[in-house]
Amino acid sequence: MQRFAAGLEYDGSAFFGWQTQSHARSVQQVLNEAIAVVADEPISTAAAGRTDTGVHACGQVVHFDTSALRPQRSWLLGINSNLPTDLAVQWVREVPVEFHARYSALARTYRYVILQREVRSALDRHRAWCLRGVLDEGRMAAAGAHLIGEHDFSAFRGAGCQSRSPVRRLERLVVNRAGDYLHIEVRANGFLYHMVRNIVGALARIGCGAAEPDWIVRLLAGRDRRLGAPTAPPEGLYLADVHYPTELSFPSAAAQPIWRDH
């Protein structure tokens, strides 16, 4: 039995999240079926992160076990030939049997894209959060800096979160502008359910002037999700990269979500 890791990118618009469901199309189920065709045996994949309905990925990592003997290039080309156009494998590597896509990860990076425009976009309707009005990225960045470090993130924890502890270590939060697009990049050792989208919702409230940057400090200290801003929609969220020990030598995520300069 061999274990393989694979890097994925997908447009989450037509998927009901990562995890296999009996009643809806999921990334995991579609991927399992495609790999099974190449392996000629049933396959079950495990992912670094379980993305929600409508959430995209350009740096998802999975692993699977198989007794089939195939060259790595045959796995890559064979799997992709059996996948729909909104899901693609970017690389395949054989890994030690103790490797686990989720538990071997050191950190994860998510990116969130906001399109700030007075009229809606036909092209980015499923790939960015389209907002009217002006957002001040400086205010948003100043607020986000208060979240860096190890904290109890209960104030940004979605209902139904099954994590045993709300404590996470946020390593990076950067807000950048490229024309009409605001890009928020967040890296942490782990994330709670809806944590990134709830952070983005709070930053958007501060960016539009409805709250001051230090409001996020009180929100964090209060540990009460009910006091926060509405959750940002899923279409702007991307699982951008999963970080592993350097000795694994995985390729970097190649794609960047609508990183446009205007």
| Residues annotated as part of the active site | 52
Phi, psi of 187 (to 5 degrees): -125, 135
Helix (H) or strand (E) holding 75: helix 72-81
Quick one: which of 61, 133, 127, 118 has its CA closest to 91? 61
DSSP per-residue codes, 158-198: PTT---S--EEEEEEEEEEEETTEEEEEEEES---TTHHHH
How many CB atoms neighbour CB 184 within 10 A?
A: 26
CA distances from 17 to 27, 57, 71, 128, 186 (A): 7, 11, 30, 17, 20
- Spatial distance between the Cα atoms of 44 and 35, rounded to a whole number of angstroms: 9
- Spatial distance between the Cα atoms of 52 and 87, rounded to a whole number of angstroms: 15
Structure tokens at 149: 């470090």
C-alpha triplet 230, 235, 240: angle, nearest 5°: 110
